[in-house]
Structure formats: C-alpha cells, structure tokens
Amino acid sequence: MSRVEAAPAPGIDILGHYINGNVVAATGRSTAVFNPATGRVSKQVALADADILEQAVFAAQTAFPSWRHTPPQKRAQILFRFKQLLEEYADEICQCITAEHGKVLDDARGELGRGIEVVEYACGISELLKGEHSKNAGPDIDSWSEFQPLGIVAGITPFNFPAMVPMWMFPLAIACGNTFILKPSERDPSASMLIAELFSKAGLPDGVFNIVNGDRITVELILNDERIEAVSFVGSTLIAESIYKQATASGKRVQALGGAKNHAVIMPDADLDNAVNALMGAAFGSCGERCMAISVAVCVSFETAEQVVKRLKNRVEKLKIGPGTDTSNDMGPLITSEALQRIRSYIEKGLEQGAELSVDGRELVVPGHEDGFFIGGCLFDEVTEDMSIYQDEIFGPVLCVVRVENLDEAMVLINQHEYGNGTCIFTRDGETARYFSDNIKVGMVGVNVALPVPIASQSFGGWKRSLFGDLYVYGPDAVRFYTRRKTMTQRWPASDKTEKAKFSFPSSPQS
C-alpha cells in the first residue's frame, strides 16, 4: 500500500494547510504520515491542489505591499518575539519532529536550536539591509544603492530537518520584506504547522507566511506560478537539478541544494579516539539522514585504517537503537519502509561488489517495535571508488572505509566525486590542514570537525552537483538572494544657473 493510498484508522486526524493566518481544512487528496518507530499511520496530511495554492498566493500577494513597507526594525521586533516563542514551545516542536521523523529528541533539540540561530541572525535585518552610499560620485552628484524585496517567494523543504531547513529560508526572506509560501515534506509536516501558528502569535501579519502541504503535483504548481518570484529548495540532486532548470526557465530566481557524499580524511598523526568519536556522531546521528553526514572515512596508510576500523567496529556494534522518545538511544528509525528497503539493497550491492561488511545492522529487532523502520549501524571496509556504496548518496546509517596511501590520493578521490557538499580532515599538522582546506574542491570544510555546518552568520552550500544556483542559503547570501539591488543617482542643479548640454556620463570627473 502506497503512502497516498494508505488508509487511516477511524477518527485519525487530517492535517490541512496554513493560509492567511488560519488553518485551512483538508480537502481532496491526502497521504499518510507514519510514526517511523511503530510503522503505523499517525495522521493524514492534505495535498494541495491548484485552488489551495491560489488561496496561498492571493494571501501572500495581498499582504506584500504593506509588509514591504513595514520598517525593518518593526519586522525585527516580530522576529524577536517569534524566537522567544520557539524557545518556549521547544518541547512541543521537538516532539512533533521525533514523532514523524523518528530522530532522537536530543537530535531534534539540536536541529531546532540551529534553526533558531538563523532567526537570531534575521533579527539584525536593519543592519543587513543597509545599502551603500557614494557622495559626490560626480559633480554635485550622489549615488546610492538599496536592497528591495522580490515579492512572493517559496521554499520546498525535505523530510530530514522539518524545523531547521524551513528556518534556513523563511525568517530571512520575511525579514527582507518578502511574503513566503512553504511546501514542507509531506512525511513530517506537523512541526512546520506549529511553527507557523507561533509566528502568527508573535504578531506576523496574516498572509506573510503561508504553508501548503503537498507532493510532486503541488511542487509543479509552485514552479509554474509566474507570481512566485523565487524558489529555495533542499533535496536530492536529481530533483534539485530539475527544479533549477524548470524554475529558471520560467524566470524565477533559484537556489537548489542537492545531494552529498561527504568524506572524512584521517591522517596517520590524527588523534584517533577523538576522530572516531566524531565519525560516530557524523555518520550515525539522525540515522545518517543528513546531507552533511559523513558517509566515507578515507584512511591514509594501512596502519591508520586498521586502527580506525577496529575502533569503529567496536563503537558501531554498541550503538543503542530504539524509539527517538527514549533519550538514552543513540539512533532512531529511518523515515519510511521504502527508505529501509533502499538501504538494505545498497548493502546487498556492496557485498556483491566485493566490500567487506564489518558490522551488519540488517538483523536488528527493537522489542515492542517490530514493525518500526529500524536498521542497525553498518560499517563497510575495503570500499573502492567504483562501488555503488561509494558513488551514491545512501542517506542511511552506512559508513564506508576507503584505504589510501597518502593525502594526495585521498584528495583526488574527493575532488573527482560529482558531489562537493562537505568534507573534513583529522590531523595534528597545521601545514597539512591548510593545504587540504585550500585545495579541496568542496564547499564546506572542517579541520578536526566532522560536521562543518556554518554558523548562521555565514552561509551554507556546496560545490559541483551539490548546489544549483549562485547563492547559498541563510547568512549574507540569503539577504542577497531574497532582495534586488536598486541603485539611485541624483543631482540637484542650482536654480539660478542654466547649464549647457553635456554628452559624457554625468558622473565623469570632467563633466
């Protein structure tokens, strides 16, 4: 039974949409939302059709003129109240995340915390929107620039961070004076709906932030709507590329973040205990369902590989796995049964292609949760670059160990891979770290940091086929993405003087 066809239990809730400051009841098509820990349907969520999107676009279009002219400082005051409410309702938001995604509550709290950091950054919008001014750019001529909002913008976000990734987008877009339509993942939509209600409670005018729940059909409607000026997307590379091509062809501004295959290089001089600890969290946190997850450990030298694999094997076998509501667990379930089957198939491919499965998590059974979408941590050794488990983004708790002889060989592997999202190196040598950071063809680099996710005042994005578009999400790039620069040049000639015609540029010094 597919997700759309899955029949809800009698009396099960159907989640609607959030438009113009109100919850809009579900109509038409819907799909099942599962609790991954039990494997059971917990609710249904509506799938927006053209009429629902029209309601959202009309609300955003109606709200835009007034919101655009709202002083940035007043927008910031609403964001400050929003931040406070996010902190007050953190437990409720995190419970929504864990119930529908499956990640452990501590991981959900970390996710929400990173999203709140972006809200904090957006609170400084008065400073971020300051333009540039040039007095006397020419004879009695002044020139300045300012940054104006685009209009209606949209965000299409994935299941793996149902609170954080939307907050990578809408706080800054709204702070810049735009109105926003969010299409969250239909697999775990409840956190976004609660967050939208909190934003209204903070004083956000109706229509500035809207949510349309939906699927591929809803996405097509968003991409084809000419009134939507820009689209932000996070998801798989194939879909990111498709969205980028379709949306730019219709004149939209687009940032589309795709997949990843993130490598960690472990040098012979590394602190191996700390490196392995970092790898465990980076590879198996959130069940490996992160675009910044480390999925390949590149061990430089035979001895380094032997020591790393020995330590990893011991740690992976001891992972405590169960429902995310149990805070003693290290890892929860996967998001869907389809994800579970996909990861199992990758493990089979790895074995068929000659990799050594040092830790096999396929037989894991969680007592009392036999129907949940659980799999244990998996560790492959002797992985080579021609294998599917090396080339593809598995998006699960599978860590591959690749053995190389030197740093240059490790860097060739990373630089030749189609993805360039994140990477890191573990070493005690500053010269090695500097050389690696300077020459690696990857957008985000860590030195003795396994998950080099930039802070809110920086920007997040990869290289190569991990990003389609010119600007990263959040941070300074987001302000530029969600605004247009307008440059003004003005001159006030003396009223008692008639000037001759001039045929050079007015700002030329000789004018």
Catalytic residue set:
291
Q: Starting at the earlier edge strand, list the strands of the sheet with 40-46.
A: 14-15, 40-46, 30-35
Q: Is 401 helix (H, G, I), strand (E, B) or coil?
A: strand
The whole-angstrom separation of Cα 196 and Cα 207 is 11
Asked whether the beta carbons of 42 and 9 are under 8 A apart, the reply is no
DSSP string spanning 66-109?
A: HHHTS-HHHHHHHHHHHHHHHHHTHHHHHHHHHHHH---HHHHH
Asked whether the beta carbons of 46 and 4 are under 8 A apart, the reply is no
Residues contacting 235, CB < 8 A, separation 6+: 156, 158, 256, 257, 258
The whole-angstrom separation of Cα 211 and Cα 461 is 24
Residue 23: alpha-carbon gap to chain centroid: 25
Q: Is 250 helix (H, G, I), strand (E, B) or coil?
A: coil
Could you list the beta-strand ranges (E) of 157-266: 179-183, 209-211, 228-234, 253-257, 262-266
User: Tokens 């249904």 sit at which residue?
Assistant: 44
Phi/psi for 378 (5° steps) reads -125, 140
The whole-angstrom separation of Cα 458 and Cα 53 is 33
The whole-angstrom separation of Cα 143 and Cα 321 is 61
Specify the DSSP class assigned to residue 473.
Answer: B
The whole-angstrom separation of Cα 394 and Cα 377 is 13
Phi-psi region of 471 (alpha: psi -120 to 50; beta: other; left: phi over 0): beta
Calculate the alpha carbon distances from 163 to 24, 93, 105, 207, 456 in Å: 20, 8, 13, 20, 15
Helices 72-88 and 190-201, packing angle to 10 deg: 130
Phi/psi for 206 (5° steps) reads -60, 140
Rg (CA), the chain: 25
